[in-house]
Structure 1
Amino acid sequence: MGPGAAIRSHPMGWLPTELVRSGGPLVVDLTERDVAEVEAALEACKLAEVDPDAVSRATFPLPTLATQLERASHQVHQGQGFAIVRGPNPQNYTAEDNVIIFLGISSYLGEQRGVQDKKGSMLTHVTDSKIWTAPPEMRHGIHTTTGLAWHCDMGTEVLALHVRSKAHAGGDTYVASAWTIYKELMASYPDVLEQLCDPSWPIQVSVNPPKYFVAPLMHISDKVLISVDPGRLGLHPATAAVDGGFPVPALTRRQRMALEVLSELATKFRHRLDLQQGDMVFINNLALLHARDPYVDSETGPGRHVVRLWLRNPHLAWNIPLAMRAPWEAAFGGDGLRAMKRSYPALPNPVYKPPRYTAGSAAFILDDSEDVNSSGSV
């Protein structure tokens, strides 16, 4: 497990101070000409009545902007691990048009999209809608104003987020490099690194009946891969209510301590994303952890509203170890997923149905009931 020269010198292993000194993450700041090109592609899609699932580089042509977006994709996969596209103001478009714009621009960074629940939802609205009547304690974390702990969206390779509107205060998103954390673990916490790489972590995937599989949270080769969501690990409280036999093992003391160290190091090496309304941020979900501060929405206006996509770029994709593939297969693989009717809701569901089982801060669809998978990112 010794660090190779490629890992030690890779740009993915950044320190926050180095990132700031170098000018921060790559930001593709759209000019008026770029916005006109995006709007022309939008109108072409609408004129041809292109279904959201068919939005692609071919149906959403960006002949000039494409080069910059391809550079951003390389930055996500081979550079610092994330990039921002400073897009058009969402207030200038309908909710449906904002979906098409997000899908069109995102297709240049990852042309394959992962499914996010068994109903075939291809995007998720991360917000605390003012029209929902279900109390916050009965919702997933992303549908409240609470903060979210360090995690990955287990299953996707690239996490894409579109900021439709911001909070009145708080709600900042942070990223931390698993490559940097790995180097610190090697130097100061080798036992914790060994524990995180051990393929014995119980990852719960359903509550009724309770099911789980075991996997490592980190994998080290010529790259550093991470796949962790604390809300998925060990025995979920709802499981005990279903079956007193506790079929999902609880985390051991060593595993709990390893998670504490991982969280502490992520906080130590975190970088705050300076996001604006209209921004689209693309995060290498296999290389970076992310977290969110709690926030306050104003009494009027839409409040904090972020739309999420799960993406894959087959040309730049990383090889995912077999032990960590189950969440990925749930989102991107299998004949059942290909046959599924996919949906792209332009707005949050007006009626919030409380889930039977909240699966932490990020969810994947493996074996879950249909209302389990509305959780997610930042």
Structure 2
Amino acid sequence: MENVMAEPATQCGSSAIGTPSADVLREPCRTAAAWRAADLGGPAEWRFELSPSHLDELDTALKAVRKNGIVLLRITSERFPLPSLGAELRRIARALENGRGFAVIKGLPVQRYDDTEINTLFWGMAQYLGSPVSQDSFGRKLGRIRGAAAGPELRTGGSDVAALLSPRLGGRSTVVSSAALYNELLGRDPLLAERMYRRFGFDRWGEQLPGERPYRSVPLACWCDGKLSVRYARRDIESAQRYPEVPRLEPADVALFELIDRLAAAAELRFGFDVEPGDIQLFNNYAVLHAHAQGGGIADPAADDRLRRLWLTLHNGRKLPPNFTWETAGYGGPRGRGGVTPRDVIARAN
């Protein structure tokens, strides 16, 4: 049996020193991504309000797409011009990568639009941030999901960035800085912190291609090019234990997960905010753990109240080693990283 969990720490590029432990961060991370709840001075740090001129640009771009009959997957930033808002979206993308790791775009008047128009606006704005990747083996890039009613799991997932749009319902979201959590973990138990650089099996939930393993073997942490990246989804890790070829979790692994969960629940690290219909939430999956609890009912029971979700590969995302992430082929765009490779893409290639 392959002892995946005993593999050395993740290395990164030519900056790595010769020993496997060279890229284990053994001192506190001091980048802007390592924030605590008290460090967030006010909404201006993480919230962006659409102005009347931005809304005019969105309406103009939407009309142009409809007039020219451009289907969703063919919409690019060039085909969805946003002269001033596009520059702001690119600035937000830089902040997601180099700043706090999350943002909320407010003020999209979703009540004006039908579901198709909402999807188009969401997709068009996202083109200025990154490239959408598939979320399932059918190749769907724009997901429709239901947020948890209560007690959602704080986790990471998807590609570089998870983007959520609440078209009909509000709710509440919670976010925790992965770097701040790591710093706390490092201060309490350095050996457990170092264990995050080992590989763990993550269940792929049946989305693997024929002949592939039903789980991914990847580390929880990566220190690369001056940035700390963390992935954590305890349910996926524990579910992968159903596969006999996945190494059994050791007591120290369970202790690590328990400590991560306790730290993520600490008021000093958790930051919560209310979400209104039309809000676009953006989470850098390497920089924050996040969760969203959906709000109550809607006035029109026939309307689609599900969250819209995109997984985005940032246009100028961080450097990551190949054993921390993976490339994903898809439809209507360049290859991304993370996500799920559609089975049809492989079939067509053959």
For Structure 1 versus Structure 2, the TM-score category normalised by the shorter chain is 0.7 to 0.9
CA RMSD of aligned residues (A): 2.9
Question: CA shift at 1:249, angstroms?
Answer: 3.6
8 Å CA contact retained: 2:134, 2:141? yes
Distance 2:239 2:125 in 1: 40
8 Å CA contact retained: 2:133, 2:339? no
Name the aligned partner's letter for residue 264 of structure 1: R
Aligned length: 309
Distance 2:179 2:47 in 1: 22
**3-state SS of the aligned residue for 2:259?**
helix
Distance 1:304 1:16 in 2: 30
1:254 paired to 2:252: yes
1:305 paired to 2:306: yes
8 Å CA contact retained: 2:167, 2:306? yes
Structure 1 gaps of 5+ residues are 128-141, 241-245, 341-362, 370-378
Select which of 138, 155, 159 maps to 1:151: 155
Which residue pairs with 1:179 in the alignment?
179
Which residue pairs with 1:139 in the alignment?
none
Which residue pairs with 1:108 in the alignment?
128
Distance 1:317 1:364 in 2: 15
Q: In 2 relative to 1, CA 40–299 (structure 1 residues): closer, same or farther, beyond 3 Å? A: closer
User: Identity rate of aligned residues, in percent?
Assistant: 23
Distance 2:189 2:64 in 1: 55
Question: CA shift at 1:368, angstroms?
Answer: 9.3
Select which of 209, 228, 231 maps to 1:227: 231
Distance 2:111 2:306 in 1: 12
Name the aligned partner's letter for residue 150 of structure 1: L
Question: CA shift at 1:63, angstroms?
Answer: 0.8
Distance 1:338 1:55 in 2: 12
Name the aligned partner's letter for residue 30 of structure 1: L
Select which of 163, 168, 172 maps to 1:165: 168
Which residue pairs with 2:12 in the alignment?
none
Q: How does 1:190-209 map to 2 (within 5 A)?
A: 190-199=190-199, 201-206=200-205
Which residue pairs with 1:31 in the alignment?
51
Question: CA shift at 1:187, angstroms?
Answer: 1.5
1:77 paired to 2:80: no
Name the aligned partner's letter for residue 58 of structure 1: E
1:272 paired to 2:272: yes
Q: In 2 relative to 1, CA 44–148 (structure 1 residues): closer, same or farther, beyond 3 Å? A: same
Q: In 2 relative to 1, CA 46–229 (structure 1 residues): closer, same or farther, beyond 3 Å? A: same
Q: In 2 relative to 1, CA 338–88 (structure 1 residues): closer, same or farther, beyond 3 Å? A: closer
Select which of 118, 132, 139 maps to 2:137: 118
Distance 1:161 1:231 in 2: 21
Q: In 2 relative to 1, CA 74–182 (structure 1 residues): closer, same or farther, beyond 3 Å? A: same
Q: In 2 relative to 1, CA 198–249 (structure 1 residues): closer, same or farther, beyond 3 Å? A: closer
* TM-score with structure 2 setting the length: 0.79
Question: CA shift at 1:205, angstroms?
Answer: 2.6
Which residue pairs with 1:373 in the alignment?
none
Q: Provide, for residues 181-227 of structure 1, a one-character-per-residue CA deviation record: whole Å limited to 9, x for no partner.
A: 1211221221221111222x122335699733422111123111012
Distance 2:205 2:165 in 1: 29
Q: Provide, for residues 87-125 of structure 1, a one-character-per-residue CA deviation record: whole Å limited to 9, x for no partner.
A: 422121010000110011111121x11011111111111
* TM-score with structure 1 setting the length: 0.73
Which residue pairs with 1:324 in the alignment?
324
8 Å CA contact retained: 1:206, 1:368? no
**3-state SS of the aligned residue for 2:323?**
helix
